[in-house]
Amino acid sequence: MEVLYSSTRSNGSAVKASQAILKGLSDDGGLFVPDHIPALDKTLKELSEMNYQQVAYEVMKLYLTDFTEEELKTCIERAYDKKFDTEVIAPLVEAEGAYYLELFHGSTIAFKDMALSILPHLMITSARKNNIKNEIVILTATSGDTGKAALAGFADVEGTRIIVFYPKNGVSPIQEKQMVTQKGANTLVVGIHGNFDDAQTGVKKIFGDKALAAEMDEKGFQFSSANSINIGRLVPQICYYVYSYATLLKEGKIAEGEKINVVVPTGNFGNILAAFYAKNMGLPINKLICASNDNKVLYDFFTTGTYDRNREFMLTTSPSMDILISSNLERLIYRIAGNNADANKALMTSLSAEGKYEITAEMKAELADFYGNYASEAETAAEIKRLYESCGYVLDTHTSVASAVYQKYVAESGDTTKTVIASTASPFKFTRSVMNAIDEKYDAMGDFELVDELSKIANVKVPQAIEDIRSAAVVHDVQCDVDKMQATVKQFLGM
């Protein structure tokens, strides 16, 4: 059955998957959502006998219904190949009775690789399907990981250019070095003087500028997005939750149909939304546990029903979660509002104008599947140390937030349901914070000395992504104020 995509903010005509992927964001500023969430058409037992690429096909074919089998399988084969350092793509590691779903085995050692390895292939295929002649300009705001993963995916891809904006003082040293050393004639990395929300708002403003879009078209360009607002980012993320369940079933850790809980460290809400979609496809998920850091806007939302970004922005050791406007939450709001675009638009207008909105009691009742909590900086560090001393397994700061929140959930609920924790980044991406949490004596070491020490104590090989930047030259040193973002884009495009 064909799946079409419409905007969360209007009742206009629906578009095919390839058109939604190309546009990224709807013309009215809304996000594209499927007209229905398709049900899995393979049994859990059948899925348990498949490898990652096969599971990915079985999930994605249900959403990307205007792609042929050959087109989709080619995209999957090109994405999930030797750039991942393990054949299983997303291994499950058991530690203290929980199952950590390691999503960081791609070329930039963060979970964004899982979707951004395939997005360029989906986008180029979509352009071909829709007879697009313009050069596609990928415009992305990043809190640290999306930027590098998108750059790696799109670098030197014919018919595309990519511009990444990141908060100059809001990412880890390793994250920044990964981005500013990126090669590729079609790439530009810009550090903005502001935080991630400033970067994201600036990018959305550029997307919404109709005069700029017309000028771009005249010059042979059109914008698209690699952020998780793009449905081509969200759909591939559903796959690894299905795969994790299939793996547990294959290994005899669960019985077919047995429910699991899923814990996700959450910033922009795309990763946990993918788990929610998986649940609604028929995957036996019980609780969706949303873990926040000190920027606990989502915890407060799930607790009170009010989303309020009017608060101090905290810089933490889990920078990819340092977000006060969780863009993908809009897709959930639209759904719990009964797929009512007008009701959703009113709430988003309130968020834009007043920085907050409140959902109805009926909508709040629709959130029963979710549990929200947060971990402070001290709790995040303590959890890294605790798990390492307990079993030798080393978490990055974001996964530690999830792990700490999971401990709180179990203590509160007594729920012993088997649990998958999304492990969203390699500890090597945040070595200083990780090593300081284990022992403060490490703070005297240099960044790459810490990398080698972490490798030694965790008994894990240094990822190639880190080896590659040890001596890499800085290629991008552009910075700008938020109000100069559009001018920076135009300059790069020679407009």
Q: Which of 419, 196, 229 is nearest to 297 (CA)?
A: 196
The residues that are catalytic are 112
Query: Which residues are CB-contacts of 177 (< 8 A; sequence separation ≥ 6)?
Result: 469, 472, 474
Contact between 2 and 21 under an 8 Å Cβ cutoff? The reply is: no
Among 138, 166, 152, which Cα is nearest to 232's?
A: 138
What is the greatest pairwise CA distance in the chain?
A: 61
C-alpha radius of gyration, the chain, whole number: 21
Distance CA 355, CA 342 (A): 18
Strand partners, 374: 292
* Interacting residues of 471 by C-beta distance below 8 A, sequence separation 6+: none
Please give the angle made by the CA atoms of 194, 200 and 201, to the nearest 5 degrees: 85
**CA–CA separation, 110 vs 105, rounded Å?**
7
